[in-house]
């Protein structure tokens, strides 16, 4: 279901104000089929990429244009987007070059310049028009989510928690990492996530998880294996959320127990700082400093903004001096590593920035699960989701 006319107009109005502030003549929004890189195109056009790539050209005045490579003519439902002017170019970059020449554009903002834009199209445009990196500006323009977006995020949260509880129910030592993951993926796909998933795992023996992510495979799980499944999916409308809790039936190691002891304090400190007017870096330091007091470091950033794209600006990191605003949505995912960087503990939660403190969008307790737990539907639903869990 496409957003309302009011919501579409809000998006274009905010983006064009940002374009004017950055002095660009038009904005090119890039997307491709790689999970997490498709959402910018959907945000400004309603088109759902299922293969290859697509662009949306948003001029300062006039209607936007959906631009496809000709070989993708039969891929994706072209009736679904609200953008009706659609072009299939033999070489999209060449078509864009002609547009820039005819309209006398000097500066073209590009969302996806570093990671998404096809090289063949970049070569056509290079030197013809100044290509202005626009990832940060685009993401900041969409960082505060509307009420319509918050409702879709709530739906995605219900989907991811549905899958998590299916994973917990299917967890048994003796099964493979992939077999334990499979019930969750079945739920995700059945509820509309489609290919928009990145479900990976940190795992290891003797009550410790090795500090590198991997695809769940055919390794059989022992009772003392620590499993940290990283669930990252969307609902049917494409909004990403992330969630993770630890699974183990046997004993955890002393190092894992020490990390576990620090986690609740760090997460609560960060949650309280996810508030309107606070700096993102302040929330990161609260997490990092808590773990440092316990003798541990962070493997990477504490988290990042999330929406129709899996990873959006701003980050929750040491150098992210961005002011938080109410109704920004963040994935908070501190990965805590030991001094040698060999073992870790990891969690993920999705938060809404509140007026005075952050809101965790689920109420699944932070603890280690052993497979005996079952989902219980709360009678006090979240503002974003009709089905909170405990």
Report pLDDT for 380.
56
Q: How confident is the model at residue 236 (pLDDT cuts 50, 70, 90)?
A: very high
Full 3-state SS string of 91-156: CHHHHHHHHHHHHCCCEEEEECCCCCCCHHHHHHHCCCCEEEECHHHHHHHCCECCHHHHHHHHHH
d(CA 229, CA 252): 16
Report pLDDT for 378.
63
Residue 388: pLDDT over 50: no
- CATH topology of 5-141 equal to that of 147-360? no
Closest C-alpha to 183, from 216, 214, 148, 150? 216
**Weakest mean pLDDT among 91-105, 237-251, 278-292, 293-307:** 293-307
Between 216 and 72, whose confidence is greater? 216
Kindly report, residue by residue over 321-346, the tens digit of the pLDDT: 999 999 999 999 999 998 888 999 99
* Token digits of residue 312: 């959006």
Report pLDDT for 323.
98
Kindly report, residue by residue over 350-383, the tens digit of the pLDDT: 999 999 999 999 989 999 999 999 998 765 555 5
Q: How confident is the model at residue 389 (pLDDT cuts 50, 70, 90)?
A: very low
Q: Which CATH architecture has domain 147-360?
A: Alpha-Beta Complex (3.90)
Report pLDDT for 376.
83
| Cβ neighbours, 10 Å, residue 45 | 27
Residue 9: pLDDT over 70: yes
Report pLDDT for 390.
28
Q: Which CATH architecture has domain 5-141?
A: 3-Layer(aba) Sandwich (3.40)
Residue 204: pLDDT over 60: yes
Report pLDDT for 379.
55
d(CA 69, CA 167): 39
Report pLDDT for 384.
66
d(CA 157, CA 357): 20
Q: Average pLDDT, stretch 16-41?
A: 96
Residue 387: pLDDT over 60: no
Q: How confident is the model at residue 152 (pLDDT cuts 50, 70, 90)?
A: very high
Beta bridge partners of 107: 130
Residue 206: pLDDT over 80: yes
Kindly report, residue by residue over 277-318, the tens digit of the pLDDT: 999 999 999 999 999 999 998 877 899 999 999 999 999 999
Report pLDDT for 377.
72
pTM above 0.85, yes or no: yes
Collapsing DSSP to helix, strand or coil, 349 comes out as strand
Beta bridge partners of 351: 330, 360
Domain ranges of the chain: 5-141, 147-360
Kindly report, residue by residue over 173-186, the tens digit of the pLDDT: 999 999 999 999 99
């Amino acid at each position: 279901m496409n957003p309302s006319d009011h919501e579409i107009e809000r998006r274009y109005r905010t983006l064009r104000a940002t374009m004017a502030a950055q002095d660009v003549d038009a904005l090119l929004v890039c997307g491709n089929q790689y999970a997490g890189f498709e959402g910018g195109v959907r945000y400004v056009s309603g088109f759902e990429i299922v293969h290859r790539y697509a662009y949306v050209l948003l001029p300062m005045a006039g209607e936007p244009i959906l631009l496809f490579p000709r070989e993708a003519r039969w891929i994706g439902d072209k009736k679904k987007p609200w953008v009706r002017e659609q072009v299939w170019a033999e070489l999209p970059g060449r078509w864009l070059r002609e547009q820039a020449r005819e309209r006398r554009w000097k500066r073209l903002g590009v969302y996806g310049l570093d990671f998404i834009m096809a090289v063949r199209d970049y070569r056509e445009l290079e030197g013809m028009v100044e290509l202005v990196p626009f990832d940060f500006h685009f993401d900041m323009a969409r960082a505060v989510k509307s009420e319509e977006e918050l409702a879709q995020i709530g739906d995605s949260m219900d989907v991811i928690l549905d899958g998590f509880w299916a994973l917990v129910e299917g967890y048994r030592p003796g099964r493979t990492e992939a077999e334990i993951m499979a019930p969750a993926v079945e739920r995700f796909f059945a509820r509309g996530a489609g290919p928009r998933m990145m479900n990976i795992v940190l795992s290891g023996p003797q009550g410790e998880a090795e500090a590198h992510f991997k695809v769940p495979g055919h390794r059989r799980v022992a009772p003392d294996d620590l499993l940290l499944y990283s669930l990252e999916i969307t609902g049917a409308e494409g909004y990403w959320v992330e969630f993770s809790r630890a699974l183990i039936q046997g004993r955890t190691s002393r190092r894992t127990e020490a990390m576990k002891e620090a986690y609740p304090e760090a997460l609560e400190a960060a949650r309280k700082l996810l508030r309107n007017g606070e700096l993102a870096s302040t929330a990161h330091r609260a997490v990092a400093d808590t773990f440092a007091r316990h003798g541990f470091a962070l493997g990477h950033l504490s988290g990042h903004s999330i929406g129709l794209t899996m990873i959006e600006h701003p980050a929750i990191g040491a150098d992210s001096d961005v002011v938080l605003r109410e109704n920004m949505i963040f994935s908070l995912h501190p990965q805590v590593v030991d001094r040698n960087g060999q073992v870790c503990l990891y969690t993920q939660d999705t938060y809404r920035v509140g007026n005075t403190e952050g809101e965790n969008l689920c109420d699944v307790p932070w603890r280690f699960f052993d497979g005996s737990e079952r989902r219980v539907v709360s009678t006090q639903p979240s503002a974003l989701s009709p089905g909170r869990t405990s």
